[in-house]
Amino acid sequence: MSEQQIVDAVKSVERPEKRMNAWGQALLALSLVGGLAALLLSGTFQQKSGDPEPAACDASGGARPSKPVSGMQLCTALNRTDLPTLLGTPTEYAMNASGKETVSKWADGAKTVTPEAEIQLATYSVKLSTSDDDIPVAEMAGFLGRSVQNRAIGGHPAVLYSDRTIALKFNFGGGKVDTGPGGIARSLLVAKDSKDGGGYYEITIWRQDDVVPNDFALLRVAEAVLPTVPGWTAG
């Protein structure tokens, strides 16, 4: 396979840059096409007896802002030993795990802090975040397109919807990087309380290839992880 044929690159939902261990960097470096892709996956990313231990949560972004739940707490909840099994890939393991707070500044001087965590495996990546917005999930569903599906997680109203990842295309000869639409990501918005009084948790999963993520995997992760997040209330 020539360099000109190696054109497809890793798919990744747009998110702030974070520190990674070597395995996370390898996973995000390139997702190549054809036989070489299979070679990389079988020779590098498939779990073997000599592989490193699953990644521990890595704190990035400095001191934690004042917030009921931190990114590290979300990472601890998400980085479970049974996460690969919940995703349907039991032989895999966490290659990169991180938690942080993203701060958004508005024109009026107000700041919004969004705690988030992300776990990367060979097949799937999973992101968990939380928002204190006062907009109910039922109202937000109207902005998420016609494919929105109503769900319930632990007695909390929820909506399931699709988004698209961003694909990076590397031109090795010209030294350029182009962006374009990538694969499908599936996301679940879950109300913070059973009455949907405002605020939500969001769990998103996407694959490192073009295959649409498994909705049952997303629901299994949500049902197992969210009740362990500090501040979760039973429905």
pLDDT digit of tens for each residue in the chain (235 aa)? Answer: 434 333 333 333 333 333 334 333 333 333 322 222 222 332 233 344 456 688 999 776 555 555 689 999 999 999 999 999 999 999 999 999 999 988 888 777 777 888 999 999 999 999 999 998 888 999 988 888 778 999 999 999 999 998 765 555 555 555 655 565 457 889 999 999 999 999 999 999 999 887 899 999 999 999 999 999 998 988 7
How far is Cα of residue 66 from the mean position of the Cα atoms in its chain?
Answer: 23
Q: Are 167 and 11 in contact (CB under 8 A)?
A: yes
The confidence score (pLDDT) of residue 58 equals 79
- The pLDDT score that the predictor gives to residue 3 is 40
pLDDT at 23: 36
Predicted pLDDT at 37? 27
